[in-house]
Amino acid sequence: ITNTVSGRVNPETGEVSLAEINLSAQECRNIDRIFLVACGTSWHAALVAKYWIERHAKIPVEVDIASEFRYRHLLIDERVLTITISQSGETADTLAGMRIARKMGSKAITICNVVGSTMTREADGTVYTHAGPEIGVASTKAFTSQLAALFLFTIFLGRHRGTIDLAKQQELAQALIGIPAIIEHHLPKIQEQVGALIEGYYDCRDFLFVGRGLSYPIALEGALKLKEISYIHAEGYASGELKHGPIALIDKEMPIVAMVPQDKVYHKTISNIEEIKARQGRLILIGSEGDSHLLTITDDVVWLPKIHEDMNPILYTIPAQLLAYEIATRRGCDVDQPRNLAKSVTV
Ligand code: F1P
């Protein structure tokens, strides 16, 4: 994950340099607002980055689906930084959004996987994810690489704006540097746990995915992956939003995948989950090793190590992707070539 991004992290100091970003320290300080613009899975990466940038670089961030952004009455000037995120660098709506923002005076940086793509040629600066070609249509490794790139960008911005001190820079950089080894170490165990539990779920018609805070976009991504490759209807919601409507869907037939890391919002998330349990929803929990409270709620728990809170979105993506993969395979779907989907949407 971290080796592929076109940036360098000094392992001692945590200092981040981003080779092709073309954004000076002064320009970082001048930013008033950031627009993150993307489609599909890349839009979910943008939603995660909003939390990171606002928390650490203290810049207000707006996140837009590119197909809406381009038709909005945009209030953009040269103090706005626009960041487009795209695996392919060719997605028509994202490209159009970038062109509009640049015309209005905004500098545009793109987080992109394809060298020489239209977006990288037209952007003012680029952070390459260099995740390699996605073999399948559904974006998977591109997503986790986008998250790594966006986290490096967050450290870069925070440092130049003085919102992150040296100790924080070190802490955040170390957290990111450590994540590939953690995933590699735990992957077989995660795969085994997910594989074991899908037997009870692969023939369900609908799924809900819920999460709060940094886990909310991962709930959206888990639902999208399941839809894309297994054709099961799935929706992602912010946990706290359930009681504003979706809770009406819950009965003993409805599987709900809940992300419950032991983070700042853990207790709130647990109380949402208790509400689901009270309505007999079939819960699959993805949570932290050692959190025995989860076993009082359900036996279907995927255990993940407890890590730096900011890294949870990267780690929690892995079981969400695997769940979609295992279910799709069990249903006989071609996970690499899902029907009706194109690798890049250029019209
Ligand atoms: C955006 C996207 C992908 C999705 C599918 C269609 O592409 O929505 O996230 O997996 O391939 O396009 P991109 O702008 O990230 O290339």
Give the ipTM of the model, two decimals please. Answer: 0.95
Q: Is residue 181 part of a domain?
A: no
Q: Is the CB of 109 under 6 A from ligand 1?
A: no
Domain that holds residue 71: 7-164
Q: Is the CB of 230 under 6 A from ligand 1?
A: no
> Ligand 1 pocket test: which of 64, 70, 88 has the largest number of ligand atoms within 8 Å of its C-beta?
88
The pLDDT tens digits of the residues spanning 115-158 come to 999 999 999 999 999 888 776 777 888 999 999 999 999 999 99
User: Do 12 and 160 belong to one domain?
Assistant: yes
Q: Is residue 140 part of a domain?
A: yes
Assess contact for 83 and 74: CB atoms under 8 A. Answer: no
Q: Is residue 48 part of a domain?
A: yes
Of the candidates 14, 302, 303, which has an alpha carbon nearest to the alpha carbon of residue 152? 14
Task: Please tell me the distance from the alpha carbon of residue 280 to that of residue 328, in angstroms, as a whole number.
Answer: 25
Compute, in angstroms, the gap from residue 279 CA to the centroid of ligand 1.
36
Average pLDDT in the 300-318 region?
97
- Number of structural domains in the chain: 2
Compute, in angstroms, the gap from residue 277 CA to the centroid of ligand 1.
34
The pLDDT tens digits of the residues spanning 214-263 come to 999 999 999 999 999 899 999 999 999 998 988 888 988 899 999 999 99
User: Do 38 and 141 belong to one domain?
Assistant: yes
User: Do 119 and 208 belong to one domain?
Assistant: no
Task: Please tell me the distance from the alpha carbon of residue 342 to that of residue 143, in angstroms, as a whole number.
Answer: 17
Of 164, 195, 218, which residue is a domain's last?
Answer: 164
Q: Is residue 223 part of a domain?
A: yes
Residue 152 vs residues 5, 53, 231, 279, 311: alpha-carbon distances, Å: 9, 10, 34, 41, 12
Compute, in angstroms, the gap from residue 92 CA to the centroid of ligand 1.
10
User: Do 241 and 154 belong to one domain?
Assistant: no
User: Do 103 and 206 belong to one domain?
Assistant: no
Q: Is the CB of 139 under 6 A from ligand 1?
A: yes
Q: Is residue 180 part of a domain?
A: no
Q: Is the CB of 321 under 6 A from ligand 1?
A: no
CATH value at residue 242: 3.40.50.10490
Confidence (pTM): 0.95
Of the candidates 199, 201, 196, which has an alpha carbon nearest to the alpha carbon of residue 282? 201
Please check the confidence at residue 2 and state whether its pLDDT lies above 60: no
User: Do 229 and 323 belong to one domain?
Assistant: yes
Assess contact for 250 and 280: CB atoms under 8 A. Answer: yes
Compute, in angstroms, the gap from residue 275 CA to the centroid of ligand 1.
34
The residues assigned a catalytic role are 343
Q: Is the CB of 94 under 6 A from ligand 1?
A: yes
- Residues of the chain with pLDDT > 70, as a percent, come to 97
Q: Is the CB of 137 under 6 A from ligand 1?
A: yes
Nearest alpha carbon, ligand 1 atom 14: 86
Compute, in angstroms, the gap from residue 134 CA to the centroid of ligand 1.
11
- The total of other beta-carbon atoms located within 10 Å of residue 123's CB is 26
User: Do 156 and 205 belong to one domain?
Assistant: no
Task: Please tell me the distance from the alpha carbon of residue 53 to that of residue 49, in angstroms, as a whole number.
Answer: 6
Please check the confidence at residue 300 and state whether its pLDDT lies above 90: yes
User: Do 151 and 211 belong to one domain?
Assistant: no
